[in-house]
């Protein structure tokens, strides 16, 4: 490890729920603060379909967890208030936060829509001591943007991210290599980055229950039970080892994408498609905002063994349409996924071109043209009258649109603004 490095990890507390609440309060200061009551961002409460994308602290105390079904969450917490997601609003707050963070260092890596790494090594001397600077960042975000974040401080990305989870909300936490034995090793193995429930259960069967157990374990044993690549990764992470740099954004902007790491493995097609719907909404809005289109779509999966797979294809014509991205992603998923439980789902668009001209497609049907025109009209209405003026039905009734989207196969395609992708 490079002890001279100084890395901050910024993590928005209950991001989607916080941003939804801040937005509602900006429209009506007398509105109920969703953060103070049992509430969640998810699908349609009337149909009880969809999954929980974010929950408030009171909802968490009732046992509600991210990625569980709405029906399950309502059984745990009957008084739960559920509101639909609005990813364009959340993306706006994410950009505001990144703009603020850019005042502290040019070396920023957007880890997901609600997380970012800052390499403060070369700029910390301009602002003060690390803890004081972290507290200043938290206070500015709370006062200027009206939501709260946690800040983790360390000498590498892994430990900084682990630190940011120690105590919430609105806290600064540190975790340096010398603190690993006392602060990290006693934690359950499930708390280690990229160790899911299935892996933790498998390790428990051979007597490994804490992060310290994995750190002290013979790497050969871990490789035998988890596979060579994943076993080595778990052993390195358990010992706090990570040499990955904070990667700045690609100035050439070769693609637009988003991914989400789920706290529970997903193994059914409908739930995976619901996740792809949320990702398609985010990516589509970003493409339209940037006035660009993509010619290629990729769906990416990472399973519980840390194994990655993806499927990709070129579109018949460039697009910025959420519905086309979603239809394409679902078809691709159907083509290559064998239902192995997955922990991360991503959607990536590449072969980007500016919206300077459009080649007329002889194969584009009237429905596709109408959908694309509708989405542009919705963007224009929202821009003029606000996000609440028009809401996409896809986020209100996933149960009807998922089979509809899968059945439409005219637009074939393939495959951290994070809920959001979390991957080194």
Phi, psi (deg, nearest 5) at residue 184 = -110, -40
Q: Which pLDDT score, from 0 to 100, does residue 253 have? A: 59
Tell me the pLDDT of the chain (424 aa) as tens digits. Answer: 444 799 999 999 999 999 999 999 999 999 999 999 999 998 665 655 678 888 999 999 999 998 888 889 999 999 999 998 888 899 899 999 999 999 999 899 988 889 999 999 999 999 999 999 999 999 999 999 999 999 999 999 999 999 999 998 999 999 999 999 999 999 999 999 888 888 899 999 999 999 999 999 999 999 999 999 899 999 999 999 999 999 865 544 578 888 887 868 899 998 899 899 889 888 888 888 888 899 999 999 988 777 888 999 999 889 999 889 999 999 999 999 999 999 899 999 988 887 654 444 444 556 666 776 776 666 556 455 444 455 555 445 443 333 332 222 222 222 233 333 333 2
Give pLDDT, residue 247.
82
User: Which domains are present in the chain?
Assistant: 1-173 (3.30.70.270), 187-238 (1.10.150.20), 256-407 (3.30.1490.100)
CB 83 within 8 A of CB 34: yes
pLDDT of residue 85: 85
Query: Quick check: 70 and 50 in contact, CB under 8 A?
Result: yes
The pLDDT value given to residue 360: 46
Tell me if residue 79 is catalytic.
Answer: no
In the 8-state DSSP scheme, what is residue 49? B
- Order the strands of the 292-303 sheet from edge to edge: 256-266, 342-354, 292-303, 308-319
Contacts of residue 393, Cβ cutoff 8 Å, sequence gap at least 6: 401
- Cβ neighbors of 32 (< 8 A, separation 6 or more) are 24
pTM for the model = 0.65
Give the dihedral of Cα atoms 28, 31, 36, 42; nearest 10 deg: -90
Q: How far apart are CA 312 and CA 349, in angstroms?
A: 9
Q: Report yes or no: 418 and 259 within 8 Å, Cβ to Cβ.
A: yes
* Structure-token pair, residue 276: 């792809």
Question: Which listed residue (109, 115, 300, 375) is catalytic?
Answer: 115
Of 307, 312, 305, whose CA–CA distance to 351 is shortest?
312
């Amino acid at each position: 490890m490079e002890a001279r490095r100084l890395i901050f990890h910024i993590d928005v507390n209950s991001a989607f729920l916080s941003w939804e609440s801040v937005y509602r309060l900006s429209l009506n200061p007398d509105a109920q603060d969703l953060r103070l009551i049992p509430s969640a961002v998810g699908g349609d409460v009337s149909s009880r379909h969809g999954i929980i994308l974010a929950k408030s602290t009171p909802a968490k105390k009732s046992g509600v967890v991210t990625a569980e079904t709405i029906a399950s969450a309502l059984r745990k917490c009957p008084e739960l208030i559920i509101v639909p997601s609005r990813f364009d609003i959340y993306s706006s707050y994410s950009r505001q936060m990144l703009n603020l963070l850019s005042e502290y260092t040019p070396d920023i890596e957007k880890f997901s829509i609600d997380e970012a790494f800052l390499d403060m090594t070369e700029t910390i001397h301009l602002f003060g001591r690390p803890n004081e600077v972290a507290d200043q960042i938290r206070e500015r975000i709370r006062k200027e943007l009206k939501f709260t974040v946690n800040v983790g401080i360390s000498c590498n990305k892994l430990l900084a991210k682990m630190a940011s989870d120690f105590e919430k909300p609105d806290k600064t936490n540190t975790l340096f290599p010398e603190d690993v034995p006392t602060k990290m090793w006693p934690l359950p193995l499930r708390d280690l980055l990229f160790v899911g429930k299935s892996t933790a259960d498998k390790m428990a069967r051979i007597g490994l229950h804490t992060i310290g157990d994995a750190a002290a374990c013979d790497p050969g044993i871990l490789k035998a039970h988890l596979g060579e690549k994943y076993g080595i990764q778990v052993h390195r992470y358990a010992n706090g080892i990570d040499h990955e740099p904070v990667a700045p954004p690609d100035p050439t902007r070769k693609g637009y994408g988003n991914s989400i790491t789920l706290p529970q493995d997903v193994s059914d097609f409908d739930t995976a498609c619901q996740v792809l719907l949320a990702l398609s909404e985010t990516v589509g809005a970003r493409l339209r905002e940037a006035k660009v289109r993509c010619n290629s779509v990729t769906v990416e999966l990472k399973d519980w063994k840390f194994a990655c797979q993806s499927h990709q294809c070129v579109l018949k014509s460039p697009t910025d349409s959420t519905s086309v991205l979603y239809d394409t992603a679902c078809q691709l998923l159907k083509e290559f996924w064998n239902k192995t439980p997955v922990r991360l789902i991503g959607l990536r668009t590449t072969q980007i071109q500016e919206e300077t001209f459009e080649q007329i497609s002889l194969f584009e049907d009237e429905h596709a043209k109408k959908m694309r025109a509708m989405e542009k009209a919705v963007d224009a209405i929202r821009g003029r009258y606000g996000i609440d003026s028009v809401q996409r039905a896809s986020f209100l009734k996933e149960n009807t649109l998922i089979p509809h989207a899968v059945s439409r196969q005219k637009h074939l395609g393939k495959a951290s603004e994070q809920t959001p992708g979390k991957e080194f």
